[in-house]
C-alpha cells in the first residue's frame, strides 16, 4: 500500500490488490454456503428511527439528503434516511419484515459495505466491508448454534491468507451471574468497566468499579479475578468455581461456555479459547460473546466479533433470538496488503493473449479466443498488429503467461503455436484442445510468508 486513499477513510484497491480482496470474499462465501447459509443483502439505507430503535447510536452515522430537493420540513426526523453502520440492525429489520416468507431457524450470510463517520485510523475506515453470518429462530433457538457459529468462523478464517488467530469467547450470563453472586447488581455497568480492561489496565478498572459502581475492594478484586481467566480448554470452569461464587445464572453461563470450548477443542484445537475478559460494548448481547484477534497483530483490534442476542428482533409478542458473527473484511484486507501477507500471482485474469500477425486477422483471432474461453481459459485478443515484440511486452507487463500465434502453413491451412513467455518455450497447440497448467489458469493468491 504505497498509495494513500484520495479521500481519507475510503480505501480503494489497485486491480492486483482487489484480487486479494476478491479471494477473501470468495473464500468466505464458499465456506458459508458449504455450511448452508443463504445469501441476502439489505438496502444501504435505514430510517433514522430504525437505527435508533435499540437506543442511542454509539456509532457515527451518515445521514442522507437529496441535493436537488428542497428541504421538506414536514418529514419527521425518524423517517429520514441514513447509511447503515453495521449489518445486524438491518438484518433484524429484514427478519421482522419478511418473517412470513422465511423458514426458521433462518441461516443467512451477508457481505456488504457499511459506513461510519469516525476518525480514520489504522484498521478503521469510514467505508468498509463486513461479512456476517447469523442464525435466527422463531421464539427459540437451540444453544448448539452458538457452538456451531464459532466452528464455522474458525473454518472460514483458517481458509484465509492471514496469520494465526484466536477466537476469544465469553458468556454474558456467566459474567452477570458472577457479578450478582458477589453482590454487584449494576451488571451492565460492571461489563462496561471490564470492557475497558485492555485499554486502561486492571488498576484503573478497579478504581472505576469502586468509584462509579460503589464496589468494595473485595468485589472489584473478584470481578478482576474473573476477567483474568483465559484457557484453551474447559479448565476455566474449575478456575471460576475456585473463586467460590454461587449463582444460578453463573452456572447456566458456565455450562454454555463449556459446550462451546469443549467442542471447539476437539474440532479446531487452539483456535477458540475461553477469555472471561471479553465484554463487547453493545447492549443487545444476552449470552455468548465472541471476539477474534490475529496473533502478533493484537493491536489491530478484533477482526471477527459477535454474540447471542435474544431480543434484537421482535414483532409484537413474537421474538426472534439469534446468534451471529461479523468479520471486518476491510480491516483484514488492509492488514494483508499493508504488510504484504499475501499477493496475487498476476494482476489480470487473462491467461492467454492471442497475437495478431496482421490487422485483418482480428476476427480469426477472436475464433481462437472463443475456443479457449469455452474451456474456461481467460483470453484477450491484441487490438493492433504491432510487432510481435510489442505484443509480447503487452502480455509481460500484465503478467499474462501465454501468447498465442496463428500462421499459415505452405498449403494454406492455419497453424497455431503458444509461447510461455516466462520460459520462452513455444510449442504447436490446438485451440480446441490446449490447456494451460492448472496453476496458470487463474490468478492465485498465496501467503507470502513474510508474516
Question: Is residue 101 marked as binding?
Answer: no
101 binds its own copies (CB under 8 A): yes
Site for its own copies in 11-70 (CB under 8 A): 11-15, 18-19, 22, 33-45, 47-48, 57, 60-69
Burial of residue 52 (number of CB atoms within 10 Å: 0-12, 13-18, 19+): middle
CB of 33 to its own copies, least distance (A): 4
CB of 6 to its own copies, least distance (A): 5
CA-CA-CA-CA dihedral for 198, 201, 202, 203, to nearest 10: -160
State the number of binding residues for its own copies (CB under 8 A). 82
Question: Is residue 360 marked as binding?
Answer: no
CB of 98 to its own copies, least distance (A): 6
Which position among 158, 210, 345, 366 is part of the footprint of its own copies (CB under 8 A)? 366
414 binds its own copies (CB under 8 A): no
Task: Count CB atoms within 10 A of the CB of residue 65.
Answer: 9
Q: Given the complex with its own copies, which of 82 and 229 has the nearer CB atom?
A: 82
Q: Which triple of cell numbers denotes residue 385?
A: 498488429
438 binds its own copies (CB under 8 A): no
Angle between helices 329-338 and 15-34 (to 10 degrees): 140
CB of 57 to its own copies, least distance (A): 8
139 binds its own copies (CB under 8 A): no
Q: Given the complex with its own copies, which of 81 and 215 has the nearer CB atom?
A: 81
User: Whose grid coordinates read 437529496?
Assistant: 66
120 binds its own copies (CB under 8 A): no
Q: Given the complex with its own copies, which of 213 and 400 has the nearer CB atom?
A: 400
Site for its own copies in 310-349 (CB under 8 A): 347-349
121 binds its own copies (CB under 8 A): no
Site for its own copies in 258-317 (CB under 8 A): 263, 266-267
CB of 208 to its own copies, least distance (A): 25
Which position among 28, 92, 95, 108 is part of the footprint of its own copies (CB under 8 A)? 108
148 binds its own copies (CB under 8 A): yes
Question: Is residue 373 marked as binding?
Answer: no
Q: Given the complex with its own copies, which of 6 and 413 has the nearer CB atom?
A: 6
**Who contacts 353 (Cβ-Cβ below 8 Å, separation ≥6)?**
379, 380, 381, 382, 391, 394, 395, 400, 402, 403, 404
238 binds its own copies (CB under 8 A): no
117 binds its own copies (CB under 8 A): yes
CA-CA-CA-CA dihedral for 293, 294, 298, 302, to nearest 10: -30
Q: Given the complex with its own copies, which of 42 and 234 has the nearer CB atom?
A: 42
CA angle 99, 100, 102 (to 5 degrees): 65
Q: How far apart are CA 400 and CA 15, in angstroms?
A: 14
Q: How far apart are CA 82 and CA 211, in angstroms?
A: 38
Q: Given the complex with its own copies, which of 15 and 437 has the nearer CB atom?
A: 15
CB 376 within 8 A of CB 368: no
Question: Is residue 109 marked as binding?
Answer: no
| Cα separations in angstroms, 394 against 17, 19, 168, 401 | 20, 20, 49, 11
CB of 40 to its own copies, least distance (A): 5
Question: Is residue 62 marked as binding?
Answer: no
Letters for 149-178 (x = contact with its own copies by CB under 8 A, - = none) are --x---------------------------
Site for its own copies in 376-405 (CB under 8 A): 376-381, 383-384, 397-398
CB of 241 to its own copies, least distance (A): 24
Q: How far apart are CA 38 and CA 32, in angstroms?
A: 8
Question: Is residue 280 marked as binding?
Answer: yes
Q: With b meaning 16 or more CB within 10 Å and e meaning fewer, what string describes 398-418?
A: bbbbbbbbbeeeeeeeeebeb
CB of 89 to its own copies, least distance (A): 14
**427 three-state secondary structure:** strand
| One-character DSSP codes across 102-126 | -PSSEEEEEEEEEE--SPPBTTB-S
Residue 82 parent element (H or E): strand 81-83
358 binds its own copies (CB under 8 A): no
Annotation: binding site for L-histidine: 86-88, 116, 130, 134, 280, 284-285
Amino acid at each position: 500500500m504505497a498509495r494513500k486513499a484520495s479521500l481519507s477513510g475510503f480505501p480503494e484497491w489497485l486491480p492486483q490488490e482487489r484480487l486479494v480482496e476478491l479471494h477473501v470474499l470468495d473464500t468466505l462465501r464458499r465456506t458459508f454456503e458449504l455450511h448452508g447459509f443463504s445469501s441476502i443483502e439489505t438496502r444501504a439505507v435505514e430510517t433514522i428511527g430504525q437505527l435508533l430503535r435499540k437506543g442511542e447510536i454509539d456509532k457515527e452515522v451518515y445521514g442522507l439528503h437529496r441535493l436537488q430537493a428542497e428541504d421538506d420540513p414536514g418529514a419527521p426526523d425518524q423517517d429520514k434516511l441514513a447509511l447503515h453502520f453495521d449489518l445486524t440492525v438491518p438484518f433484524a429489520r429484514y427478519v421482522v419484515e419478511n418473517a412470513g416468507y422465511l423458514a426458521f431457524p433462518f441461516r443467512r450470510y451477508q457481505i456488504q459495505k457499511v459506513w461510519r463517520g469516525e476518525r480514520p485510523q489504522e484498521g478503521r475506515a469510514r467505508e468498509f466491508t463486513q461479512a456476517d453470518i447469523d442464525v435466527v429462530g422463531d421464539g427459540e433457538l437451540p444453544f448448539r448454534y452458538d457452538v456451531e457459529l464459532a466452528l464455522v468462523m474458525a473454518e472460514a478464517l483458517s481458509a484465509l491468507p492471514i496469520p494465526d488467530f484466536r477466537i476469544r469467547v465469553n458468556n454474558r450470563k456467566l459474567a452477570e451471574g458472577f457479578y450478582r453472586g458477589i453482590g454487584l447488581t449494576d451488571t451492565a455497568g460492571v461489563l462496561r468497566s471490564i470492557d475497558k480492561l485492555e485499554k486502561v489496565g486492571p488498576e484503573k478498572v478497579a478504581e472505576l468499579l469502586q468509584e462509579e459502581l460503589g464496589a468494595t475492594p473485595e468485589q472489584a478484586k473478584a470481578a478482576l479475578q474473573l476477567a483474568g481467566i483465559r484457557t484453551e480448554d474447559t479448565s476455566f470452569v474449575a478456575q471460576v468455581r475456585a473463586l467460590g461464587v454461587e449463582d444460578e445464572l453463573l452456572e447456566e453461563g458456565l455450562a454454555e461456555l463449556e459446550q462451546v470450548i469443549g467442542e471447539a477443542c476437539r474440532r479446531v484445537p487452539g483456535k477458540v479459547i475461553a477469555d472471561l475478559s471479553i465484554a463487547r460494548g453493545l447492549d443487545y448481547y444476552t449470552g455468548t460473546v465472541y471476539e477474534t484477534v490475529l496473533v502478533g497483530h493484537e493491536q489491530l483490534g478484533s477482526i471477527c466479533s459477535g454474540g447471542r442476542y435474544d431480543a434484537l428482533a421482535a414483532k409484537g409478542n413474537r421474538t426472534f433470538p439469534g446468534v451471529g458473527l461479523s468479520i471486518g473484511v476491510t480491516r483484514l484486507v488492509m492488514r494483508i496488503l499493508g504488510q504484504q501477507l499475501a499477493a496475487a500471482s498476476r494482476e489480470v485474469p487473462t491467461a492467454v493473449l492471442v497475437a495478431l500477425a496482421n490487422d485483418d486477422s482480428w476476427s480469426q483471432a477472436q475464433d481462437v479466443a472463443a475456443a479457449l474461453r469455452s474451456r474456461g481459459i481467460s483470453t484477450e485478443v491484441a487490438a493492433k498488429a504491432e510487432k510481435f515484440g510489442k505484443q509480447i511486452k503487452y502480455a509481460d507487463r500484465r503478467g499474462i503467461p501465454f501468447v498465442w500465434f496463428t500462421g499459415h502453413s505452405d498449403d494454406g491451412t492455419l497453424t497455431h503455436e503458444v509461447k510461455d513467455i516466462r520460459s520462452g518455450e513455444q510449442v504447436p497447440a490446438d485451440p480446441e484442445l490446449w490447456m494451460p497448467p492448472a496453476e496458470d489458469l487463474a490468478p492465485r493468491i498465496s501467503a507470502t510468508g513474510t508474516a
